[in-house]
Amino acid sequence: MAHHASAGAARGSMEIVPYSGELDLELPPVDVKRQDSLYRDATMPAHAGHHGQESWVRTLRLAFQCVGILYADLGTSPLYVYANTFKNGVGHPDDVLGVLSIIIYSFILFTMIKIVFIALYANDDGDGGTFALYSLISRYAKVCLIPNQQAEDELVSRYRHRAKPSATLRRAQWMKNLLETSKAAKISLFFLTILATALAISDCMLTPPISVLAAVNGLKLRAPHLTTDQTVWITVGILVVLFAVQRFGTDKIGYTFAPVVFVWLLLMAAIGIYNMVKYDIGTLKAFNAKYIIDYFRRNKKKGWVSLGEILLCFTGTEALFADLGYFSIRSIQLSFTFGLLPSVLLTYIGQAAYLRKHTDMADISNVFFNSIPSSLFWPTFVLALIASVIGSQAMISCAFATMSHLQALNCFPRVKILHTSRRYSGQLYIPEVNIFLCISACVVTIGFRTTGFIAKAHEICVVLVMVITTLLMTIVMLLVWKVNIWWIAIFFIVYVSTESIYTAAVLYKFTHGPYVPLAMSAVLMLIMIVWHYVHVKRYKYELEHTVSRDEVKDLLERRDLKRVPGLGLFYTELVQGIPPIFPHLIEKIPTIHSVIVFITVKRLPVPHVDVSERFLFRQVEPKEFMVFRCVARYGYRDKLEMANDFVKVLVEYLQYYVRDLNLYGVGDEPLKIIFHSARVDSFTWERKPTGHVIYAEEMLTPAQSFSEFTMHPVSMSSRLAHFQTGKMNLEEMLKIEEDQKIIQREVDNGVVYIIGESEVVAKPHSNLLKKIIVNYIYSFLRKNSRNGEKMLSIPRGQLLKVGITYEI
């Protein structure tokens, strides 16, 4: 039975009645249970994703930016696809039609259908990419290897807004049980995710060199004396400039580049139509898939191996999905369907028409520039060079987004992440990653020197990320989406079978280049696995050695323990309990601050967490010592505030908690209160067999003084009538106000940030491999990563570090 009650008179017409003494609030007795926010469930309102109410003005603006950020890589692939596919010449005139037909249907199948019109809908509340798929899966099944999940996490408004329809399906429950009960399934899922991530970062080292070098090679048609060394160093100079401008932000780069790429796509389409009409309009026959069959029948193994070069036509597709956090589904679909798709296909068709009439190796080696009218060479060359530079931008943006996800998953040493746009939170810049990619791209250019060798290395990154995306997409369809099982089976069979053929063709040429990105990916994966392994071990160690309630009480009641003025924020990674470093601190320095808050900054598998849902509090016994536990929850794309700003918000919500703890907690009886906003107009409460749940639609602001209600007993009665049983006297209200004043006073006395510097070493009896991983590799990574206080923007003058050693 549900009841609704309004607050009574409007605020503007409230009657003022003189008041003295005790408020007599006689209510029917109810079984009221207090909610412990760190250990029990709560109910929060659900909100739609931020892409649901997108305006067309914003869509068109983002669609325009899409052209500058996402499509230049796909748009510059015609510079080198045919040249690498027919590097040994054209064996049969119809081979050109066969390759063109494979390009057309591969582009439509893998880029348009799979990514743009299927995978983009598997976004994580507007975020895309491999990590977004993993985060989405981890919200519907407990697959995280770190045991820091809390029931309250699922109640964040963006956490599981589509869970209920899917949860009713038996196959979803089967998949959920499989992922949660099988350690092998958890590890395999994690391994696939970091493999795709490592490959994506490796791809970011290869895309800029191949795109820019292919464009620079066009100069040889007008400057035959230009040597390979000279083209290589020109490319290196351009790459250095490209990475240097990243610090200005994707938002500015997108608007700067979009007009150039737009003109580039129009020019390519026009040249494609020109070549098709001039040389052979019959190339349109390539839309007939029989030419694919004829191509493989004629060329057999050679034709199969050539798939490795043909798949370069959709390189950059993974960036469409990974960079979704920068844009939106509708903007990408709009600009892709009416902009990129017709332009790129017309370009490939035009080049095929040219190759039908020009089969000499000299024509094939630089077919793109050979096929354009001589009067348009220089404008086309300049645009090609700029577009190739811009094409690299998509992969660089992808690398920044990927590294941000890695940080949230605790899979990589800490790096500095800068948010470059106030309007779009997904637009990032990471200085360390930018420098690393710049150096790597230059080394690849100088070392490989030609697009052919880089292309072979590029292929393995593209195809393996495709396969992993298909596998994760299938899990999402089974676990999350309410899709007919036959559609899932068709998706899995079609894409796994076709992508396996491409993968086999690439791996066949393993010694000719693909080992390079695999070697780079192996190094990145080693870093990720070591960092995550030690992090999980350290967390479990602290969890097993948490300080019990009795021990905490004994520590706080020690006679030699001194309380100094101020607020002490003690940072820990544990979401429950008191970390073992706390008694270590008291043992060495028996002094603590008048108010202590144990802070855990936790990243949830959602892009964003609203500030109103950020903090979970619990008071540590004995209450008179003013010691609290707090979990500050952030999404993996949320920006951490500066330390001073964080304290202001923390203290505000801590005062909420102190007030509510005294208002709704009667002795030891638990009370469950659900907060929806910040002021009171109405309440909803529901009587259940197991207890009494109260929904407080709006509450007072934390800073409001309860003494003001001594002049407003009618307001006081209407606000508290549904919350308190028995009698509430003035002393209780003053106690709330006094506690709030104590907290504010200690904040004014000064805030000290206490960070545990825990050194992790392997136990003496550990095997040699574990000692190498923990004592050497992890230690090296930790010493060369950013300190925790820098990540949290803590002022040095307010920092206190506490050292301790853990043997794991």
The span from the CA of 564 to the CA of 568, in Å, is: 10
Q: To which H or E segment does residue 79 belong?
A: none
DSSP structural state of residue 427: -
How far from 381 is each of 81, 384, 451, 500, 519, CA to CA, in Å?
17, 5, 17, 36, 34
- Strands 615-620, 2-6: pairing is unpaired
At residue 804, the 3 state secondary structure works out as: strand
Give the DSSP per-residue string, 575-618: SSSB-THHHHHHHHS-EEEEEEEEEEEEEESSS---GGGSEEEE
Across the beta sheet with 627-635, what order do the strands follow?
A: 615-620, 627-635, 591-604, 562-571, 751-761, 799-807
Written as six digits, the tokens of 486 are 């036959």
- 351 neighbors 271 (Cβ within 8 angstroms): no
Secondary structure class of 396 (helix, strand, coil): helix
Dihedral-angle region of residue 120 (phi above 0 means left; psi in -120 to 50 means alpha; beta otherwise):
alpha
Q: Which of the 8 DSSP states describes residue 183? A: H
Structure-token pair, residue 689? 């067999």
Q: Pick from 746, 738, 745: which is nearest to 568 by CA?
A: 746
Report the predicted TM-score, pTM, of the whole model to 2 decimal places.
0.77
3-class secondary-structure state, position 726: coil
- The verdict on whether omega for the bond into residue 622 sits within 30 degrees of 0, i.e. cis, is yes
The DSSP result for 144-199, as a single string, is -SSS---GGGGGSTTT-TTHHHHHTSHHHHHHHHHHHH-HHHHHHHHHHHHHHHHH
- Counting as low any pLDDT under 70, the low residues of the chain are 1-54, 126, 147-148, 150-155, 157-168, 249-256, 323-326, 362, 419-427, 511-514, 664-729, 731-732, 789
Collapsed DSSP state (helix, strand, coil) of residue 135: helix
Nearest C-alpha neighbor of 317 from the set 177, 581, 128, 516: 128
Instruction: Answer for the pair 581, 758: CB distance below 8 angstroms, yes or no.
Output: yes
- Going by their DSSP bridges, the two strands 799-807 and 751-761 should be labelled as parallel
Look at residue 315 in the predicted model and tell me its pLDDT: 81
The number of beta carbons lying within 10 Å of the beta carbon of residue 48 is 11
- Residue 271, both tokens: 């040249």
**Residue 268: predicted pLDDT:** 92
The residues with which 570 forms a beta bridge, in sequence order, are 598, 754
User: Is residue 344 packed enough to be buried (19+ CB in 10 Å), middle (13-18) or exposed (0-12)?
Assistant: buried
Q: 751-761 and 428-429: which strand pairing?
A: unpaired
pLDDT number for residue 250: 56
| Alpha helices per DSSP H over 409-450 | 431-448
Can you name the CATH fold of 63-157+170-515? Amino acid/polyamine transporter I (1.20.1740)
Give 50's DSSP letter: T
How does DSSP classify residue 337? Answer: I
Contact of 293 with 413, CB cutoff 8 Å: no
Which residues fall within 8 angstroms of residue 470, CB to CB, at 6 or more apart?
A: 114, 491, 492, 495, 496, 499
Phi (first) and psi of residue 618, to 5 degrees: -155, 140
Digit-coded pLDDT (tens) for 320-346: 777 666 677 888 888 898 888 999 999
- First-to-last CA distance in the chain? 53
Give buried/exposed letters for 390-405 (b at 16+ CB in 10 A, else e). bbbbbbbbbbbbbbbb
Q: What is the pLDDT of residue 690?
A: 34
Q: Is-contact 364 86, C-beta < 8 A?
A: yes
Residue ranges of the domains in the chain?
A: 63-157+170-515, 546-663+729-807
3-state secondary structure at position 789: helix
Which SS3 state, helix, strand or coil, does residue 22 take? coil
User: What single string gives the DSSP state of each residue in 736-769?
Assistant: HHHHHHHHHHHHHH-EEEEEEEEEEE--TTS-HH
DSSP code for 546:
P
Question: Which residue in 65, 74, 62 sits closest to 256, CA to CA?
Answer: 65
Residue/partner pairs of 252-257 with CB below 8 Å, 24 or more apart: 252/420, 253/68, 253/69, 253/393, 254/65, 254/68, 254/69, 254/326, 255/64, 255/65, 255/68, 256/68, 257/68, 257/69, 257/72, 257/386, 257/390, 257/393
Task: Report d(CA 156, CA 39) in Å as an integer.
Answer: 15
